[in-house]
């Protein structure tokens, strides 16, 4: 215990030295925060590529949808009819079969004419005519086979045209808005029918001072803290823009945050915690041995 008469200034310095004697240098780091807001990883207005009347809307706002799920349909009566015609056309084999039979018969005629010609029972022009006829029939058959290939392609085109009258979800997500109802007409000036967003994962775009970007790396983990709940979650850096805003000296950084079961709120304020391990913080800890001193200061 210091005497009461001990000078006040000296006692303060002694106390400070005692604290320093028990100080430690932990591996804690200095940090700087960058504020932004969470947003959907994908935010898609699903639109039609053709005009028409909506005959079906198969979802409602709030529905969870999967990639490839049918969401809505335009009037597709004509497209279905064209598809059926194209399907029948590509399967038509009557003309090909008739051409194959005729060619087979003419090939037999050519063989017989060649034999007669060798035995001097046929003239050269008769043989030439038979061979010429066979060549024409071969070309006709080839043309029919090529037509079938074209009809197969026309069938595929008809399927594409039918699919363009149907809206499928390109992602796993949630329907958040429906712009048109069943029976309404959709034009190419306003083609979007509904909106689907993906909330797992979430996306955050941070504007990070360029001199702090050396603390993060593409693919590396980062800590993101929600300012309301104080909850800290792990995210991963997807992209660091190579360009810098000359006015703010900041660059865009994309961070992906896993959000299983959509527990994290979209649109919530959050901060990116940037840590610098090269600058440790000194934490002063009073050791046990110093607790024997009763340090008192005069008023």
Indicate which CATH number applies to the domain containing 206.
2.40.30.170
Among 21-25, 34-38, 135-139, 188-192, the least confident range:
21-25
Q: Residue 277's pLDDT is what?
A: 57
Question: ∠ CA(195), CA(201), CA(202), 5° rounding?
Answer: 75
Structural domain tally of the chain?
2
Residues 35 and 94 placed together within one structural domain of the fold? no
Query: Is 25 part of a structural domain of the chain?
Result: yes
Terminal Cα-to-Cα distance of the chain (whole angstroms): 17
Q: Which one of 147, 163, 179 terminates a domain? A: 163
CB 274 within 8 A of CB 34: yes
Over residues 178-185, mean pLDDT: 95
Q: Which one of 140, 163, 186 terminates a domain? A: 163
105 three-class SS:
helix
Q: How far apart are CA 50 and CA 187, in angstroms?
A: 7
> How sure is the predictor about 33, in pLDDT bands with cuts at 50, 70 and 90?
confident
Q: For residue 86, which of 29, 44, 148, 7 has the smallest C-alpha distance?
A: 148
What's the pLDDT tens digit per position in 240-290?
A: 999 999 999 999 999 999 999 899 999 999 999 987 756 554 443 434 444
Q: How far apart are CA 89 and CA 155, in angstroms?
A: 8
Query: Is 172 part of a structural domain of the chain?
Result: no
Query: Is 49 part of a structural domain of the chain?
Result: no
Q: How far apart are CA 243 and CA 66, in angstroms?
A: 36
Say which residue the tokens 């035995």 belong to: 119
Q: Which comes out higher in pLDDT, residue 295 or 85?
A: 85
Residues 284 and 218 placed together within one structural domain of the fold? yes
Instruction: Tell me: pLDDT of 165 over 80.
Output: yes
Residues 88 and 140 placed together within one structural domain of the fold? yes
Using the Cα atoms of residue 158, residue 162, residue 165 and residue 169 in order, give the sign of their dihedral.
Answer: negative
pLDDT, averaged across the chain:
85
In order of 208, 211, 241, 251, 263, the CA distances from 32 in angstroms are 10, 12, 19, 15, 26
230 three-class SS:
coil
Q: 181 Cβ partners below 8 Å, 6+ apart?
A: 54, 57
> How sure is the predictor about 153, in pLDDT bands with cuts at 50, 70 and 90?
very high
Q: Residue 279's pLDDT is what?
A: 56
Q: How far apart are CA 91 and CA 155, in angstroms?
A: 10
Q: How far apart are CA 44 and CA 123, in angstroms?
A: 77
Q: Both tokens of residue 10? A: 């000296």
Q: How far apart are CA 144 and CA 160, in angstroms?
A: 25
Neighbours of 33 (CB within 10 A): 12
Dmax over Cα atoms in the chain, in whole Å?
A: 150
Structural domain that includes position 225: 8-42+199-288
Q: Residue 32's pLDDT is what?
A: 61
Q: What is the pTM of this model?
A: 0.67
């Amino acid at each position: 215990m210091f005497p009461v008469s001990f000078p006040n200034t000296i006692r303060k310095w002694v106390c400070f030295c005692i604290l320093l004697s028990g100080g430690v240098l932990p591996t804690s780091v200095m940090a700087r925060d960058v504020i932004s807001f969470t947003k959907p990883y994908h935010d898609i207005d699903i639109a039609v590529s053709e005009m028409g009347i909506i005959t079906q809307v198969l979802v409602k706002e709030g529905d969870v949808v999967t990639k490839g799920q049918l969401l809505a349909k335009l009037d597709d009566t004509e497209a279905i009819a064209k598809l059926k015609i194209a399907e029948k056309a590509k399967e038509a084999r009557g003309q090909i079969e008739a051409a194959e039979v005729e060619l087979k018969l003419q090939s037999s005629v050519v063989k017989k004419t060649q034999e007669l010609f060798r035995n001097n029972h046929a003239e050269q022009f008769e043989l030439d005519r038979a061979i010429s006829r066979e060549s024409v029939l071969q070309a006709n058959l080839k043309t029919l086979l090529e037509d079938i290939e074209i009809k197969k392609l026309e069938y595929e085109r008809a399927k594409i045209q039918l699919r363009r009258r149907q809206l499928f979800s390109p992602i796993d997500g949630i329907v958040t808005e429906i712009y048109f109802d069943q029976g309404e007409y959709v034009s190419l000036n306003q083609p979007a029918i509904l909106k689907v967003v993906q909330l797992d994962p979430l996306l955050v775009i941070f504007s990070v001072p360029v001199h702090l970007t050396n603390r993060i790396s593409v693919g590396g983990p980062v800590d993101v803290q929600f300012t309301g709940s104080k909850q800290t979650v792990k995210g991963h850096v997807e992209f660091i823009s190579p360009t810098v805003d000359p006015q703010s000296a900041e660059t865009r950084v994309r961070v992906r945050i896993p959000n299983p079961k959509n527990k994290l709120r979209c649109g919530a304020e959050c901060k990116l915690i940037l840590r610098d391990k090269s600058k440790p913080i000194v934490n002063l800890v009073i050791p046990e041995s110093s607790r024997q001193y009763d340090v008192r200061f005069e008023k």
